[in-house]
Structure 1
Amino acid sequence: MAGKRLFTIAEKEFFDHVRSRKFLLIFGILLVVAIVGMIGGIAEYNKSLDQYNKHQSAIQSPLSSYMPVKPSILSVFSSVATYLVFVGGVLGIAMGFDLVSKEKESKSLKILLSHPVYRDEVINGKALGGILALAGALGVVLFIALATLLVYGIVPDGNELVLIAVFAVVSFLLIFSYFAIALFLSTAMDESGSALIYTIIIFIVLSVLVPTLSNNTVTEFVIGGQPELPQELLDQMQVTPRNSSENSAVVFSTKISAQGSSDAWDRFNERMNTYWEKRQAMHDTLALLSPTMNYESITSSITNGISGNTLVMSAGSGMTTNAFSVSRTGDAGIGDKLGKIAANIIALLLFPSVFFGLAYIRFMRLDVR
């Protein structure tokens, strides 16, 4: 009986959402920008694939450690993720900011609670109805996205389908995070207008202000600037870039005296590694405070098949000429990617859980008169 009441409330809330103009408007915008993002991403993917095929057929220089990397289909979803950060957040806020406050204003909450229904059934039913509507909207968007891939003749393999599923889950968690924040403020505020204003303020802080704190200027102010190459090593280097195209390696021919140069590079690399570890630690700490940053970290890892640039140096006793190349590393395996984003997924899961828990506690203690 209790379960039936819960699902009755959830069903009502679900249909109220999907029939509302604000939901249909924002959902329509989300659908349009997702399709536009997919088409743009597919164009970039095809361009990168053509460049990869050209590099495959080209003769690689033995002086270069650069190996062409086949672009991943997941890169197509990069533009979609960019749009979801904003439009998805707005959708979650729009669906949650007046779930409880509008019933306070209309006095219908008092009438509802006078019926033989428990408070936990009311708040859980409202949340469940909103979750189902959000999941349905996101499901339609991703279905259209996959259909767009197939129309262009792009078929994901098994691993890519797994990562697309992960992308869908974390996208839902992002939207649910802001829905949970809005739901909490809807229970905490007596008026829907106040709930909306405070929710938007929190959204701006979490999606704009906190990520801004991790930019280069703020990071360098906190942990200092990036270590500069010592003059000792600069004096030893004569830079001669090899003829290269957009994705080819940049090769430096250097004349280095072997004695002492290896130790100098080791010291410089150690300082550089320490700097980047501190910078990453600061970014990870701030990410725990922002579902937007967590989402961007996860989607960047999923949609980006390139893990970064590496400086490759070879030095040995008796060598007077060394080759340095800035190369792009290969596509990480699915296990490596999932392991890398596990902490971010957990943080993104905890965020809506905390705010929904706060909304639940607040509603259970709500004084309805």
Structure 2
Amino acid sequence: MVRKEFGDHIRSWRFVILLAIVVLACAGSLYASVSALKAGQSASAASGEGSSSFLFLKMFTETDGSLPGFLTFLSFLAPLIGIALGFDSVNTERNKGTLSRLLSQPLYRDDFLNAKFVAGLLLIAVVIFSLGFLVMGMGLFTIGYPPTPEEFWRVVVMLLITVVYVGLWLNLSLLFSVRFRQAATSALCGIALWIFFPRFLRHDR
């Protein structure tokens, strides 16, 4: 069942369009990071100063001011993937009448929900790690600076934390999908929280 849900997510136009938006946004932030790093390297070379430590990690955080950094874009847009994968997972099955047929089989309700969550989480992990390794590859190609083992493992840990973070949004959207009968209602609840919490936390700081 996990394989079926995973395939359904990949073949959906909603996921393809949302993934394209995230990739384009991250590509723009990558360009801004490369521009900032090259400008910083030129300034360091002109002043005779050595390169700073963890230069490769700055690919994920530095920016020239034209666009936010990669991590900023990822933390802002990645929850949309979790919301999009889960907001209609259960209520659509219920409205189509397929939920009762599924649960009439020798299938536990928990297994049904867990399969939807695991399939979505696997897809999220594939997307997040693909984007992260793409940034690493582009950084290696553009600035010609390979990551140290410590930098590499820091990036891997950061990507794992991002997967867990987006998985929380997926779990929340699944909860809304179980709670509300209409997919539009669960989507609005998820998007409302996605808009509210980052603003609230930023204001609290």
Shared fold per TM-score greater than 0.5: yes
Relative to structure 1, the CA distance from residue 16 to residue 48 in structure 2 (aligned partners, 3 Å threshold; closer, same or farther) is same
Normalising by structure 2, what TM-score? 0.89
Higher normalized helix content (fraction of residues): 2
Higher normalized strand content (fraction of residues): 1
Does the 8 Å contact 2:86/2:174 carry over to 1?
yes
- Aligned pair partner of 2:198 in 207, 214, 218: 207
Residue of structure 1 in register with 2:64 after alignment: none
Residue of structure 2 in register with 1:52 after alignment: 44
Residue of structure 2 in register with 1:126 after alignment: 116
Q: CA RMSD in A?
A: 1.8
Residue 70 of structure 1: CA displacement? 4.5
Superposed CA offset, 1:197-249 (max 9, x none): 111111122111232122xxxxxxxxxxxxxxxxxxxxxxxxxxxxxxxxxxx
Does the residue aligned with 2:106 lie in a helix, a strand or coil? coil
Counterpart Cα distance in 2 of 1:53 and 1:162: 28
Relative to structure 1, the CA distance from residue 68 to residue 117 in structure 2 (aligned partners, 3 Å threshold; closer, same or farther) is closer
Residue 54 of structure 1: CA displacement? 3.7
Q: Which has the higher contact order (CA 8 A, sep 6+)?
A: 2
Aligned length: 197
Residue of structure 1 in register with 2:129 after alignment: 139
Counterpart Cα distance in 1 of 2:53 and 2:103: 59
Does the 8 Å contact 1:52/1:71 carry over to 2?
no
Does the 8 Å contact 2:2/2:115 carry over to 1?
yes
Identity %: 23
Matches within 5 A, 1:147-296: 147-152=137-142, 153-214=144-205
Letter in 2 for 1:112: L
Relative to structure 1, the CA distance from residue 70 to residue 132 in structure 2 (aligned partners, 3 Å threshold; closer, same or farther) is closer
Query: Where do 5+ consecutive residues of structure 2 fail to align?
Result: 62-68
Normalising by structure 1, what TM-score? 0.51
Counterpart Cα distance in 1 of 2:118 and 2:174: 12
Relative to structure 1, the CA distance from residue 10 to residue 71 in structure 2 (aligned partners, 3 Å threshold; closer, same or farther) is closer
Residue of structure 2 in register with 1:29 after alignment: 21
Residue 71 of structure 1: CA displacement? 6.0
Counterpart Cα distance in 2 of 1:14 and 1:68: 44
Is residue 73 of structure 1 aligned with residue 56 of structure 2?
A: yes
Residue 52 of structure 1: CA displacement? 2.9
Matches within 5 A, 1:76-95: 76-78=59-61, 79-95=69-85
Does the 8 Å contact 2:30/2:70 carry over to 1?
yes
Superposed CA offset, 1:309-359 (max 9, x none): xxxxxxxxxxxxxxxxxxxxxxxxxxxxxxxxxxxxxxxxxxxxxxxxxxx
Relative to structure 1, the CA distance from residue 123 to residue 21 in structure 2 (aligned partners, 3 Å threshold; closer, same or farther) is same
Does the 8 Å contact 2:177/2:186 carry over to 1?
yes
Query: Where do 5+ consecutive residues of structure 1 fail to align?
Result: 1-8, 58-66, 215-369
Counterpart Cα distance in 2 of 1:30 and 1:157: 27
Larger mean Cα displacement after TM superposition, 187-196 or 32-41: 32-41
Matches within 5 A, 1:288-367: none
Residue 69 of structure 1: CA displacement? 4.3
Does the residue aligned with 1:166 lie in a helix, a strand or coil? helix
Does the 8 Å contact 2:23/2:131 carry over to 1?
yes
Does the residue aligned with 2:131 lie in a helix, a strand or coil? helix
- Aligned pair partner of 1:15 in 7, 31, 37: 7
Does the 8 Å contact 2:121/2:167 carry over to 1?
yes
Superposed CA offset, 1:257-315 (max 9, x none): xxxxxxxxxxxxxxxxxxxxxxxxxxxxxxxxxxxxxxxxxxxxxxxxxxxxxxxxxxx
